[in-house]
Chain A
Amino acid sequence: MSLRTPLGRVLGAGPAREGVKHWWVQRLTSIALLPLGIWFAVSLIALPLGDYAVLIEWAKQSFNPLLLLAFALVATWHSKLGVQVIIEDYVHTDGVKTLAVILNLFIHIAIAAAVLHAVLKIAL
């Protein structure tokens, strides 16, 4: 028998206050990263990384900017969730924990902004 109220269960209000959303998004991003990560790894292998002109041409070509954005942004999202769990698990001081979680969020937003800026600048 559960001691949780039906309303609390519907709202997903466990100790984390956000239910299973974090867990679920972590899984979804990991599934998306399987093909995207393999695509990126294969691309890196196939590309002459020292040749600026060829790289730029590749990054502008057909679906490549979209795939680059998808890979980098989903990876950033997945990373934000993962690092947050590590902080929540191993940082036990309340104030420090909150601060670290916020800092983690800000850093990952900065990473996403930099990725967007760079890829758009190359592709457009």
Chain B
Amino acid sequence: MAARPLSPHLSVYKFKYTLLTSILNRLTGLVLSVGLLLLVYWLTALSRGMKAYQDALAVLSGGVAKVVFVGVLVAFCYHLFAGVRHLVWDTGHGMERAQAYRSSWALAGATAILALVLGYFLFCPQGAR
């Protein structure tokens, strides 16, 4: 095939905060795809009996796993709200520059709040357990 420029031309745009929100939506989606592997690992261990589950739990409660969980948690919150934002855009609403800026900050705020709330209940030992 002829060597011609192919989209997306990430490097030719002037950096804007709204550009970051779009890239982050892809990135968090990719992180959640990795999280899907964790879900499969967890479900499979659960299906293979008590002993297998205890072994998996030992792996899943390690330090590296904790970092991955935090990443997946934040990605979940971000992708949830960013996805809703995209669905609204798909109806043709909220695409004016000022609106997009406002919703991008709302996205950051909502993500932070939900991630803190979910994180508190997931990792706080005396939470809702």
Contacts and interface: CB of A to CB of B under 8 A. Distances in A.
Interface residues of A, number: 37
B1 A79 contact: no
Q: How large is the interface on B (under 10, 10 to 19, 20 to 34, 35 or more residues)?
A: 20 to 34
Interface in A60-96: 68, 72, 75-76, 79, 82-83, 86, 89, 92, 94
Interface in B23-82: 26, 29-30, 32-33, 36-37, 39-40, 43-44, 46-47, 50, 53-54, 57, 76, 80
Main secondary structure of the interface of B (DSSP, over half): helix
A59 interface: yes
B33 A118 contact: no
A46 interface: yes
Interface centre among B26, B47, B50, B118, by most chain A C-beta atoms within 10 angstroms, is: B47
A76 to B, nearest CB: 6
B129 A48 contact: yes
A113 to B, nearest CB: 10
Contacts, number: 82
Given A44-B122, A45-B121, A52-B53, A86 B30 contact: yes
A114 B118 contact: no
Contacts of B76: 37, 41
A72 B39 contact: yes
Interface of A: 27, 30-31, 33-34, 37-38, 41, 44-46, 48-50, 52, 55-56, 59, 68, 72, 75-76, 79, 82-83, 86, 89, 92, 94, 111, 114-115, 117-119, 121-122
12 contacts: A33-B83, A45-B127, A52-B54, A72-B39, A75-B39, A79-B33, A83-B30, A92-B6, A114-B43, A115-B39, A118-B43, A118-B46
Interface of B: 1, 6-8, 26, 29-30, 32-33, 36-37, 39-40, 43-44, 46-47, 50, 53-54, 57, 76, 80, 83-84, 86-87, 90, 118, 121-122, 127-129
